[in-house]
Amino acid sequence: MTTTSNQMWGGRFAAGPDAIMEAINASIGFDKRLAAQDIAGSRAHAAMLAAQGIISDSDAEAIREGLLTVLSEIEGGRFEFSTALEDIHMNVEARLKDIIGAPAGRLHTARSRNDQVATDFRLWVRDQLDAADAGLQALICALLDQAEAGADWVMPGFTHLQTAQPVTWGHHMMAYVEMFGRDLSRMRDARARMNECPLGAAALAGTSFPIDRHATAAALGFDRPGANSLDAVSDRDFALEFLAAASICAMHLSRFAEELVIWSSAQFRFVTLSDRFSTGSSIMPQKKNPDAAELIRAKVGRIMGANVALMMVMKGLPLAYSKDMQEDKEQVFDAADTLMLALAAMEGMVRDMTANRDRLAAAAGSGFSTATDLADWLVRVLGLPFRDAHHVTGSLVALAEGKGCDLPDLSLADMQSVHAGITEDVFGVLGVENSVNSRMSYGGTAPAQVRAQIARWKERMA
């Protein structure tokens, strides 16, 4: 192949890298996604250089206009990216030189590609945190609508996927509101901590030019500049925190998706998913497959994998910058894309799905779901120790199983055959409606408690 002198390395290397080195060294194939952030950082840097008298106002203006032209070309699909120029930074700078000539060479004064890429990547991740914030808010609002509509609809609550106690549809929806609310908090917490600007840290030691790092930080929406130049160029905690928060969020999405897969099955029929988020079978005409939920359930692996991959890249690196860190982006890009798609799909499913109230109510009363209410009544009314009440209730469940009926279907005589002190009043606690209405402890499933939590969250989301 034809070799040319490499502009970035100057005279250090007489010949350019061969095809293999070019392929392993280049990152433009993926870091071109940082174009908008790269140009924003360069514009802020040029403005600061001019304000500090490091470059002339005319050069700064030419750089500003030239960068806007480059951005327009990229956004319009007219920009030709070059693998030979390695990365987005050099591709932009080379095109800027084509447009404005010599002033382009002054843009890189008092900075390095090390602080430049750290700034670009931090800006990009910050945008993803904001996008995740918006996606989570939309999902939470969809869940609140479902919870409000069914605040008093009874359904079975499960442990071990076995019927445990009756709960309400609203209570179940609000459980996911709490889970995704913690995800929202983690995204916001990560954003607050990562909002420091690396620009001006230069290669690793800062610069002798009289730059104003507070000005560039403010121009780019950061709270402050990074306080240590070594850390500023080598830190990727912000990306790891995003991936960690995204992994937990994806796990929550997967758990909910699993429930939707189960609930929409012919055996459960708790919910009906809309045609927009389901598919048919190529061979079985009766099928309606919850494909969107299944794909959300699967995508958690990609996001968690990205978290592990970046952790492995970073775990053995000495300060400050190493080329290993070029491998910090692709997995973050993929994880962010995957998370945003999963959030949007889940919000759509939640907004479109219909809870089958009659089916929920029928299932709520099966499987001896009010056994705990019976045990509590024995303690509260007859004064039995709970362990004794537990034993009596177990015997009554066994009796009902033997008769092929549920607890409310036993006669008073049946119950008194197990414990003579049981009275007619016991039937008042055995209905599922009575059961859920009695759970008035804070955070309980009683409709009044559910509505109180909905109101709290609506105020928080306003």
Among the options 5, 185, 265, 281, which is catalytic? 281
- In 3D space, the residue among 68, 129, 89, 115 whose CA is nearest the CA of residue 217 turns out to be 115
pLDDT at 286: 52
Angle at the Cα of 427 (from 425 to 429), degrees rounded to 5?
95
Report how far residue 232's alpha carbon sits from residue 124's, in angstroms, rounded to the nearest whole number.
Answer: 16
Report how far residue 329's alpha carbon sits from residue 63's, in angstroms, rounded to the nearest whole number.
Answer: 27
Q: What are phi and psi of 403, to 5 degrees?
A: -85, -5
Beta pairing partners, 159: 162
pLDDT at 7: 53
Q: What Rg value do the Cα atoms of the chain yield, rounded?
A: 31
pLDDT at 20: 79
pTM (predicted TM-score): 0.88
pLDDT at 17: 56
296-343, pLDDT tens digit by residue?
999 999 999 999 999 999 999 999 999 999 999 999 999 999 999 999
pLDDT at 49: 98
Secondary structure (DSSP) of 58-105: HHHHHHHHHHHHHHHHHHTT-----GGG-SHHHHHHHHHHHHH-GGGG
416-437, pLDDT tens digit by residue?
999 999 998 888 888 888 889 8
Angle at the Cα of 61 (from 55 to 62), degrees rounded to 5?
95
| C-alpha count within 13 angstroms, C-beta hemisphere, residue 459 | 6
Asked about 281 being catalytic, the answer comes back as yes
Among the options 160, 208, 282, 441, which is catalytic? 160
Asked about 160 being catalytic, the answer comes back as yes
pLDDT at 16: 55
Residues (pLDDT < 50) of the chain are 1-5, 282, 285
pLDDT at 280: 57
pLDDT at 367: 67
